[in-house]
Structure 1
Amino acid sequence: RVGSIEASNIGIASIAAQRPYDEPGKIQVFIAVENPTDQVRTTDLQLSVNGVVRAITPVPIEIGPETEEPGLGRIPGRKQFAFAPFEQERDAVIEVLLLNEDAQPTDDAAMLVVPPARRLKVALVDTESFVLRSILEGMTLESLDLLTLDAYETLAASGGLDDYDVVVLDDAAVETLPPGRYLSFGRTPPIEGLTEFGDPAEGIVVRRSAEDHPVLRYVNLDELFVSSMRKLTTGTGVESLVESGDGPMVVSVDRGPIQIIHATFDPLDSNWPYLRSFVNFVPNAIEYLGGLGDAVASAGVAPGSPLTARLPAQAMDLRVRRPDGSDVAVESADPMTFAWGPVRRAGRYELSWTEPGDDSPRRRIFAVNQLDPTERRAAAAESIELSLDRITGEAAAAGGTRWQDFWPWLLGVSLVLMMLEWWLWQRQSAAG
C-alpha cells in the first residue's frame, strides 16, 4: 500500500457570493467545508479581500464525520458557513482560507474574483443637453452617442437600442420604451406604474432618501431645492428612492426587461447641477443600471482546465503570471478567443496585455480552485474491489524484510556475471 490510511484532510467544497437584496452595496460570501474522514474535525475560517484580512471566525467550526448511506455509499461530513456582509463594490479578489494543518493544503484555500466595472455603451437622448453631457463625457465609457428624439424613435422601432447598456432621457418626450435600462429626468416615461396627476409641485425639498441604495451612495441631498416637480402616483414594482412632501422625487422601476431610474424633475429646474451630489448621482445610476444582471463574482476554474477570455482584437504583449509569481509570454493568433493552459496549480493567475496607443497594461484575474471531492480523499484505501474480488492492502512492518530489499544485490550479481562473460569471450577471442 502506498500512503497511510490515517492521513486526514478537510477541504473547501464550494464557494459563492451574492449581494443582499436590502444592502446591494455589500457582498456576502458562502462556503461549504467537507470532511471525508471518520473523525469530527474543527477549523477556523479566514476571509481576505485583496490580501487584507476582513474576518476570522470567533470560534472554530465543527465538521462531522462521513457517514454510510444505503445506495449512496460513503457521504463526507459537510458544514456550510456564511460570513457577515461587508462593503465591497467591484474589482476585488476574495479568498477564504482554512486555518488548519492536514494532508493536502491545496484545497484549504478558495478564491472568487469580483470583476471591475465594465465599460458601458451609453446613449443620451437630447442633443441640446449640456449638463448631463458634460458629466457623461467625464466618465470612462466604451462610447457615448448623442441621439435626437427622431433618431431614438427610429432605433426603438428597429431594435437598435439593444446595442446600448444604458439610455439617458434628458426631459425627452419619448413615445415608446422598448426593453432596456434607462436613466430618465423630467418628463414621465411611458410605462405602467408611473402616472402623473395635478399641477407640478413647487418649492420642493427632500424629506427622505434611501441612502443605502447604490444609486444614492455618497449622494447628500440636504441642500437640494427643486422649483418645479411633476407629481406622480406609483404602482407595484416601483420603489421610491427620494421623497418629498409632495410625492416621489426619484424612483426605481422594475418591469422585468425594462429597468428605470427616474427623477421626476428636470435638473435645470433645481440647484442640483451646482451640487456635488449630482456629479455622484449620475455615474452611480449609470453603473448600477449597466451592471444589473451581471454576476457578483466570476466562477473559478479547476486545475487541468484552460483559462479562457474574450480580449480586444488589438490586444498584444499577452503575459500570464502564475501563482508562484513567475511570468510567461503567451502567443495568441486571435485574442478575442484567448485560451491558455491547462493550468497545473490552484491559486491566482493574472493575465495582462496592452493595446496600441496605450502603454498602461490591462489586467484580468482568474481564480483556480481545487474543489474536487475525489482529490480531497488523501488517505490510502484499506481495500479495493475488482469485479467479485476484494483486495486488501498491507503495509510492510518497520524493520521487516521485503523482496524489494534484495534488488540492489540481484543487480550487483547480474553485473558481475555479465563482466565475467565478457572477460571469457575476450580471452577466447585472443587465443584464436
Structure 2
Amino acid sequence: MTVFARIPALAPFQIRSFRFQWPADLLASWAFEMEGVILGWFVLVSTGSVTALAVFGSLQFLGTLVSPFFGMAGDRIGNRNVLCLMRITYAGVAFCLMLLFLSRLATPVPVFLLAAVMGLVRPSDITLRNLLVGETMPADLLMRAMSVSRMTADSARVVGALSGATLMATLGSGIAYVVICAVYGVSFLLSLNVGVRRLRVLGEQAIPLSPVRALREGFAYVWSTPDVRAATLLAFLMNFAAFPLVNALLAHVAKDIYGLDQTGLGWLIASFAIGALSGSILLSMHGARIRAARTMIACALVWFALNLVFSWIQTPRWGEILLILIGVAQSFCMVPMAVILLRTADPAFRGRVMGVRMLAVYGLPLGLLLSGPLIEHVGFAVTGSLYSVIGIAFTLLIAAHWREHLWYPQAAANQR
C-alpha cells in the first residue's frame, strides 16, 4: 500500500492527473494573490478612494457574466485545453503589467484596463479546476479531492499575500511581477500534463451546436433541480453579502481602520487564509463523514455571524483572530457546496451547471460596488452589519424553502 492510500488526506494523489493539477492550481493561486495585494494597494494609494478600490475589486470578477461559455467550451474541446489557454492569458497580462511597473509608466487607467482583461478570464479558473477534478476523480474520493483542491487557493492567500506584500515593499512592484510571470509559466507547463478524459454520457451530440441553446438548457436544468438551484442561490448570497468584507475591502480595513501598511494588509489576508486552509485540511481528513447540505447551511449562518462581529472590531489582533474563524467557516460552507453540485448534477450537464454556478460569483462585484459608497457615507461597521443581517435572513429563507433537499438526512445532497 502506498503512502497516498494510507493517509486519507493524500488519497486523491493516487490519481496521476491530480498529481499534476494540484501544483499547477497552487502556483496559479499564488500568483493571483500576489497580484491582488500589489494592485489593490497600488489603486488605493494612487487614487485615495475606497470607491475606486471597490471598482477595481469588481473588475476581477467581470468574467462571471461569460463563465457559462467557458464550461461549454470545456465540454467541447476539453477542460484541460481551455484551462491551458486561460493560464497563457494570465502570463501575458502579467508580462504587460511587469513592463509598466519596471518602466515606471503604471497609472490607474492602464492598470484598470489590464485588470478588466484578466477579470474576463480568471473567474472561470475555479470552474475548470472543479470540472477536471469531477471528471478524473472516483466518487468516493470526491469530497477529499475537493477539500485538497481548495487548499491551493487557501494556502495561496497565506503565501501569495505575504510574499506579494514583502516583494513589493522590498524590491518594488516591477521585480515582484517578474516573479509572478515565472510562477504563471510553471503553472502552465504543469497544466499540460493534467488528464484529458472527457465524459460522453449522452454521446457527442449531447452538447448542442448553438451556444445560446446550451446556455438556456443549463439554466433550465439548474432551475428544475431543487438542490442545485438552492446551492446556486446560496452561492450568489455568499458572494454578495459575505465575501466583500474579507476580499478587496480588507485594504480599506488595514489602512483606514487599523492604520497598517501593506505588510499589515498581507497579514490580514493571511489570517483569513490560515483559517480557510485549516478548514480544508479538516475536510480532507473527515469530510466523508459529514452531510454536505446541512454543513453548508449551518456554516453559512456562522460565517455571517462572525462577519457581523468583525465589522465592529477596531484592533488588528482581534481582527486577525476573527478572520481565522471566518476562514474556517468559509471552507465548511463552500467546499460542501461544490461537492453538492458535482455529485448531484447529471454528468452530461456538469460543465453547464458549473458555468451557471460561476455566474453566482457576480454577486461579489455587485456587493463591492454597493459597499464602496455605503462605507463612505455610513462607515464600515454599519455597512458590514447590514450585509451580515441580510445574509442571515436570506440563508434562513433558502434553508426553509428547500428543507426537504437541504436538511433532511435522506436527501441526495446529504448522502455521505
Please state which band the TM-score falls in when normalised by the shorter chain. Answer: under 0.3
Give TM-score, length-normalised by structure 2.
Answer: 0.19
Instruction: Compare the two structures and name the one with the higher helix fraction.
Output: 2
Q: Comparing both structures, which one devotes a greater share of its residues to strand?
A: 1
TM-score using structure 1 length: 0.19
Higher relative contact order (CA 8 A, sep 6+): 2
